[in-house]
Structure 1
Amino acid sequence: MENKQTVLIVGASRGLGLALVEEYCKRGFDVIATVRQQTAALQGLQKQYPDSLEVHEQVDIVNLDSVRILHDRLKGRKLDVLFVNAGISRANELTPLQVEEQDYIDMMLTNALSPMRVVELFHENVLTNGVIALMSSELGSITNASAFWELYSSSKAALNMLAKSFAARHSNDSRAMLLIAPGWVRTDMGTQDAILDVSESIPLVVDVVTQHAGRPGLRYVDRFGKTIAW
């Protein structure tokens, strides 16, 4: 019998992360999901997929100690996919002059620095033909900047830069690394003004990740696998 593939999804309690958990469970993966605290929706998925969904609570991506503890718990576990999803948006309509400094600091820590710390820690857990995926955004493109949600956009641009630097430091790595933009999706973070339902985004996102297994190098792509300008 063929061994099941394993995915670690960091930031899985709701929204896009929860949808990723469900999609990978449907596809027969062993799923390791992290949350700060358990949610009813995730508990429901655990009941539906008791043999394939493993949840680790009290993992806060901005708390490096909690991420290190998770790394110790999963020592030696091999991953086909590492998917770092955690992110926040604040002060969406504000300018740099208007934003509260702490709101901006929180976005940069959650959306840029902390995801890359996860990658630094778990990189070696990913199989050499596996995929490291980070949930980015079309708004992270400097080329296509439009001043929409500009502060959030800058945090995603920072994530992209840190990922590009990581890839440069690991230029001979055989793993694929994806900065993937799911589109503007209706979630608590994306707001109800968004144009896509999670069902119109996440299955395509998972398709793109799957298609890149065994394809070394960093790519910045949308949910269709199309390259986005840096």
Structure 2
Amino acid sequence: MAEHRLALVVGANRGIGLGVVKAFLARGWDVIATARKPAEAIALNALASGSPGRVTVAALELNDPASLDGFAAAFDNGALAGKVLDIALINAGVAGPAHRSASQATEAETGALMMTNAIAPIRLARAVAPRVRAGTGVIAFTSSVMGSVALNPGGHELYRASKAALNSLTRGLYAEVSGRKLTVLSLHPGWVRTDMGGPGAAVSVEDSARGMVDVMLAQQGRHHHVYLDYQGKEIAW
């Protein structure tokens, strides 16, 4: 493996994404960390300043095709030219409308939720996949146990549907990239104390992030698509 191992962490300005950046840095990795508005990503910029030359902060609005295309193009002839990714974590998600109900959902609400949680992450992964190191590279997605059809007890149905859609699209992506011997992961970070998870959640950001990085590292070179939690336990589809 390359001496300077490089990870891409999308959605790194706060919460789990920021925690994952810290966990990679603690293991000696370099990181490309994205934020929708880098100038406002105070904690991320402070982390970059405290780790000179190891964190590249890049602008990326996942739902904006022009921003996505521009970010991908930067690997060819821009600020990221020549960079090869060992791991890419596509970390994006919104809770959706407060009513959480398919019976009440509008077309706009459903479209926004599906675009952010399922469609845009796959578009980005497809765009950066050629920059992921063949043989040992990992493309991972922050999914959720709530995307499991087998374990669905009801409730939160719109969010569950969006994460199930992400899992399905991820399996299709794996079929596309498997010839390059990449590993693809759908990861459940746990119920984490973030803005989305709330203060009563069971898992700290630090524990979730460390676990997710441990799982991604352990899965390098496996050449499969699996659905795992942050402790490495397999989840039923």
Contact in 1 for aligned 2:19/2:205 (Cα 8 Å):
yes
Deviation (angstroms), 1:177: 0.5
Q: Which segments of 5 or more consecutive residues in structure 1 lack a partner in the other structure?
A: none
Give CA deviations for 1:64-117 in whole Å, capped at 9, x if unaligned.
Answer: 211111111122321000110011112255311123432221110001000000
Instruction: Give the Cα separation in 1 of the matches to 2:177 and 2:133.
Output: 15
Contact in 1 for aligned 2:8/2:32 (Cα 8 Å):
yes
Residue 75 of structure 2 is aligned to residue 68 of structure 1? no
Instruction: Give the Cα separation in 1 of the matches to 2:61 and 2:179.
Output: 31
One of 53, 65, 69 as aligned partner of 1:51: 53
Residue 89 of structure 2 is aligned to residue 88 of structure 1? no
Deviation (angstroms), 1:169: 3.4
Instruction: Give the Cα separation in 1 of the matches to 2:124 and 2:155.
Output: 28
Contact in 1 for aligned 2:122/2:169 (Cα 8 Å):
yes
Instruction: Give the Cα separation in 2 of the matches to 1:11 and 1:204.
Output: 18
SS at match of 2:217: helix
Superposition map of 1:98-137 within 5 A: 98-128=104-134, 129-137=136-144
Instruction: Give the Cα separation in 2 of the matches to 1:94 and 1:159.
Output: 18
SS at match of 2:170: helix
Number of aligned residue pairs: give it. Answer: 228
Could you say which residue in structure 2 is the equivalent of 1:12?
12
Contact in 2 for aligned 1:92/1:149 (Cα 8 Å):
no
Could you say which residue in structure 2 is the equivalent of 1:140?
147
| Alpha-carbon RMSD | 1.4
Q: Which segments of 5 or more consecutive residues in structure 2 lack a partner in the other structure?
A: 77-81
Could you say which residue in structure 2 is the equivalent of 1:78?
84
Could you say which residue in structure 2 is the equivalent of 1:211?
218
- From the superposition, tell whether residues 185 and 92 of structure 1 become closer, same or farther in structure 2 (CA, over 3 Å): farther
Contact in 2 for aligned 1:173/1:217 (Cα 8 Å):
no
Percent identical pairs in the alignment equals: 36
